Structure 1
Amino acid sequence: MADTRELEEQGIEGEEFEDPTVVDDDFDRLFGIVADGVVGAAGGLVGTTLMTVVLLIGESFDVFTRASFATVTEMVGLEGLLPPVTAGYVIFVLAGMFPWPLLFASLKDYLPGGRDPVHGIYFGTALWTGFVFAFYDGYAGLALVGYLAVTLVAHWVYGIGLGAVFEYLSTRPDTLV
């Protein structure tokens, strides 16, 4: 849309034009906020699903174990109430769908890279630094190298998936992001 000043300089008068510097009140409405949250959750679900596939591949090579998710259950104090691995995985998925996408949305413009999937790789690397210690299960030697490699690739895949969904939904004509 042309700037109001540009239109006036071109001699176009008598019509009302939207000023692009005015903030649209509709953006801050509850629906817009919820819709943006759904976009983040969708991106987080895609990223977490892709990450789970990589972790399961790592498990087939004995460099990751599903039992590590029980650690999450212990961290939040749910041991004894629910099956530990299942509860830990559900918490893991929820974290991948809600707080991490929110943090990504807040920080992505400050991360290196020109596109959201590239921002996601850097974001995933930052998340990996905590994950690698929290889910460590006593690996040594080549198993440790494999654990580090598989979990890093899993986080890169998470970031790429998260960023790709953000990028796709933000370039659509009726974008909510």
Structure 2
Amino acid sequence: MPVSMSQEVAGFDDESGLPPAVWEALQTLKAGIVSTGLMLFIFTIAEAETRFALGVPAAVAEFVGMPGQLYLGFAVFVFAGVVVWPLLFAAIDDNLRVIPAGEDVGIRGIVFALILWAAFLLLGSAGLQLEGPFFVLYLVFTLLAHLAYGYSLGILYARFTHQPTTQ
């Protein structure tokens, strides 16, 4: 598609015709959609394997400040996973380069997700009545889901925005 002189002067992206910041935000949201889908898949497997004894949906609702409102809490959780956290990651990605192995965007995504996991445990797990092996499974599955989310968010963000995955 030929680019008009006005698009070129205005700083629009050659391929999409969008301003670069808008194009990058849309690519970041794509990474958020895929990563949130992966996290939800892991949560679904965890719930199915434990016969729905882990209470992940209740923890999610608690985490977003809506205890007892599972559907609304789920919607807010998905919105945060698709929109809020990916855009926050994109905003602070350059600052995460100072961590050990921070030249790898996958590692930066994992560090970002570990912070989210810690917040999830502190804010979302307070009311759960888990004991013994169910508590351990809850910790393991929520950690795995967050690690998968962070890694995929970092890698897909870099891929979709045409950035190198390592420096």
Cross-structure match for 1:5: none
Q: Which residue of 2 aligns with 1:57?
A: 45
Report the TM-score when normalising by structure 1.
0.69
Shift of 1:69: 3.4
Query: Does structure 2 conserve the Cα–Cα contact (< 8 Å) formed by 1:55 and 1:64?
Result: no
- Render the CA deviation track for 1:82-109: whole Å, top value 9, x for unaligned: xx22211111011012221122112222
Residues 89 and 96 (structure 1 numbering): CA distance in 2 closer, same or farther, change over 3 Å? Answer: same
> Once the 2 structures are TM-superposed, how far is the Cα of residue 76 of structure 1 from its aligned partner?
5.5
Partner of residue 169 from structure 1, selected from 160, 164, 167: 160
In 1, distance between residues paired with 2:132 and 2:66? 31
TM-fit CA distance, 1:139: 1.4
Q: For residue 132 of structure 1, what is the aligned residue in structure 2?
A: 121
Q: Taking every aligned residue pair, what percent have the same amino acid on both sides? A: 31
- Gap regions ≥5 residues in structure 2: 1-8, 13-17
The RMSD of aligned alpha carbons is 2.7
Give the whole-Å Cα distance in 1 for the aligned partners of 2:63 and 2:111.
24
Which residue matches 1:141?
Answer: 132
Q: Which of structures 1 and 2 has the bigger CA Rg? A: 1
The alignment covers a number of residue pairs equal to: 143
Cα distance in 2 for residues equivalent to 1:171 and 1:33: 13
| From 19, 35, 43, the counterpart of 1:31 | 19
Q: Extract unaligned runs of 5+ from structure 1.
A: 1-23, 173-177
Amino acid at match of 1:167: A
Taking structure 2 as the reference length, the TM-score comes to: 0.73
Q: What's the counterpart of residue 17 of structure 1?
A: none
CA distance in 2, matches of 1:142, 1:149: 10
Q: Offset at 1:159?
A: 0.6
What corresponds to 1:116 in structure 2? 105
**CA shift for structure 1 position 149:** 1.1
Q: Are 2:32 and 1:44 aligned?
A: yes
Structure-2 change in CA distance of 1:69 and 1:161 (3 Å):
same
